A and B are shown apart, each in its own frame.
Chain A
Amino acid sequence: MRIGTLKESYVADAALFDSVTQKRMLAAGAALLVLFPFIANDYWLYLACLVAINIVSATGLNILTGYTGLVSLGQAAFMGLGAYTVAILETRLGTHFLINLWAGGAVAMLGGIIVGIPSLRVKGLYLAITTIAASFIAHFLFANFEFTGRTGGLSLPPARTFGIFLDTSFRLYWMIVPITVLMVIGAANLFRTRIGRAFIAIRDRDISAEVLGIPLLRYKLLSFAVSSFYAGVAGGLWAYFFRVVTPESFPLVMSIFFLAAIIVGGMGTILGGILGAIFMTMVPELLKLIFDILPGGREMTVFLSPVRTVVFGLLIVGFLVFEPLGLAEVWRRIRRFFHLWPFRN
Chain B
Amino acid sequence: MFDRKSFVTRRSVMSLAAGAALAAGLTIPAQAQQEDIVVGGSIPMTGVFAFAGVGINAGMSDYFKIVNDAGGVNGRKIKFVIEDTGYKVDVSVAAFKKITSQDKVNLYYGDSTGFAKTINPELDRNGQIMMAGASFATELNDPKKYPHQFLVGPDYTEMFGILLNHIAKEKPGAKVAFVYSDSEFGRDPIESSEALAKKLGLSVPVKIMTAPGSVDVSTEVIKLRRAAPDYTIFHGYILAPIPEFVQQGKQMGMTTKWMGTFWTMDSSTVMKMGEAGDGFMGVMPYRYYYDDAANSPMLQKIRQMRPEYQSTAYMQGFLTAMLFTESAKRTLAAGKPLNGGNLKAALNSIKNFDTGGIIGTPITIGGNSIPVGRVYKADMKAQKMVPASDWISLAK
Chain A residues in the interface with B (C-beta under 8 A): 41-43, 46-47, 50, 143, 150-153, 155, 158, 167-169, 242-244, 246-249, 284-285, 288, 298, 301-302, 305-306, 308-309
Shortest distance from the beta carbon of B313 to any chain A beta carbon, whole Å: 13
Query: Complex formed: what's the CA distance from A306 to B45 in Å?
Result: 7
Can you name the residue of chain B whose Cβ is closest to the Cβ of A309? B46
Check if B139 sits within 8 Å of A152, measured CB to CB. Answer: yes
Q: Which residue of B lies closest to A158 (CB)?
A: B121
B9 proximal to A (CB < 8 A) = no
Q: Does B94 contact A (CB under 8 A)?
A: yes
Is B110 an interface residue, CB under 8 A from the partner?
no
**Contact assessment for A167 and B187 in the assembled complex, using a CB-CB cutoff below 8 Å:** no
Complexed CA–CA distance, A151 and B86 (Å) = 22
User: Does the CB pair B97–A243 fall under 8 Å?
Assistant: no
Interface code B117-143, partner A: CB below 8 Å = 1, 0 otherwise? 110010001000000000000010000
Q: In the bound complex, do residue B57 and residue A302 qualify as a contact, i.e. CB atoms below 8 Å apart?
A: yes
With A155-B117, A167-B125, A243-B121 as contacts: A301 and B97 at CB distance below 8 Å:
no
For residue B114, CB closer than 8 A to chain A, the reply is yes
Q: Using Cβ atoms and an 8 Å threshold, which residues of chain A touch B54?
A: 302
- Other A-B contacts than A43-B97, A151-B188, A244-B118, 13 sampled, CB-CB below 8 A, are A46-B94, A143-B182, A151-B184, A155-B121, A242-B89, A246-B117, A249-B89, A284-B86, A298-B80, A298-B81, A302-B45, A305-B46, A305-B50
- Given contacts A43-B98, A298-B80, is CB(A247)–CB(B114) below 8 Å? no
In the complex formed, the residue of A with least CB distance to B41 is A298
Q: Pick 20 A–B contacts, CB within 8 A, sort by A.
A: A47-B94, A50-B94, A151-B183, A151-B187, A152-B184, A155-B117, A169-B97, A244-B117, A244-B118, A246-B114, A246-B117, A249-B89, A284-B91, A285-B94, A298-B81, A301-B84, A302-B45, A302-B54, A305-B45, A306-B45
**Interface: B31 (CB within 8 A):** no
How long is the Cα–Cα vector from A41 to B100 in the complex, in angstroms?
10
Q: How many A-B pairs with Cβ below 8 Å?
A: 81
B61 adjacent to chain A (CB < 8 Å): yes
Q: Which residues does chain A contribute within 8 Å of B93, judged by CB atoms?
A: 46, 242
- B55-89 vs A, CB cutoff 8 Å, 1 = contact: the mask equals 00110010000000000000000001111101001
Q: State the CA gap A309–B47 with chains docked (Å).
A: 9
Task: Check: B101 CB closer than 8 A to any chain A CB.
Answer: yes
Residues of B within 8 A of A155 (CB): 117, 121
| Pairwise interchain contact A248-B118, C-beta atoms closer than 8 A | no
Q: Are A42 and B118 touching (Cβ within 8 A)? A: no
Which of A152, A301, A306, A309 touches B82 (beta carbons < 8 Å)? A301
Contact (Cβ within 8 A) A246 B46: no
State A150–B187 Cα separation when bound (angstroms).
Answer: 10
Tell me if B90 is interfacial: C-beta within 8 Å of chain A. yes
5 residue pairs, one from A and one from B, having the closest CB atoms: A305-B45, A151-B184, A305-B84, A43-B97, A43-B101
Q: For residue B187, which residues in chain A have a CB less than 8 angstroms away from its CB?
A: 150-151
CB < 8 Å neighbour of A42 from B61, B100, B117:
B100
Give the CA-CA distance A108 to B117 in the complex, in Å: 25
Closest to A47 in B: B94
Contacts of B57 in A (CB 8 A): 298, 302
Complex: chain A residue closest to B102, CB-CB: A43
Task: Write the chain B residue with the least CB distance to A243.
Answer: B121
What's the Cα separation between A288 and B125 when bound, in Å? Answer: 27
Which residue of chain B is the closest to A284 with respect to CB atoms? B91
How close is B186's CB to chain A, nearest CB, in angstroms? Answer: 8
Chain A residues lying within 8 Å of B114, measured Cβ to Cβ, are: 244, 246, 248-249
Instruction: Look across to chain B and name the residue whose beta carbon is closest to the beta carbon of A285.
Output: B94
Q: Which residues of A contact B46 (CB under 8 A)?
A: 305-306, 308-309
CA distance A50 to B93 in the complex (A): 11
Asked if A308 meets B84 with Cβ closer than 8 Å, knowing A167-B121, A243-B118, A249-B114, the reply is yes
**How distant is A31 from chain B, measured CB to nearest CB, in Å?**
24
Q: Are A242 and B118 in contact (CB under 8 A)?
A: yes
Distance, CA A153 to CA B98, complexed state (A): 27
* A residues near B94, Cβ cutoff 8 Å: 43, 46-47, 50, 285
A143 nearest in chain B by CB position: B182
Chain B residues in 8 Å Cβ range of A249: 89, 114
Interface string of B177-194 (1 = CB under 8 A from A): 000001110011000000
B65–chain A nearest beta-carbon distance, Å = 11
In the assembled complex, the Cα of A6 lies from the Cα of B121 at a distance in Å of: 55
Minimum C-beta distance from A153 to chain B (A): 8
The answer for the CA separation of A50 and B88 in the assembled complex, in Å, is 13
Distance to closest chain B CB from A280 (angstroms): 12
What is the bound-complex CA distance between A309 and B86, given in angstroms?
Answer: 9
The chain A residue sitting closest to B212, CB to CB, is A248
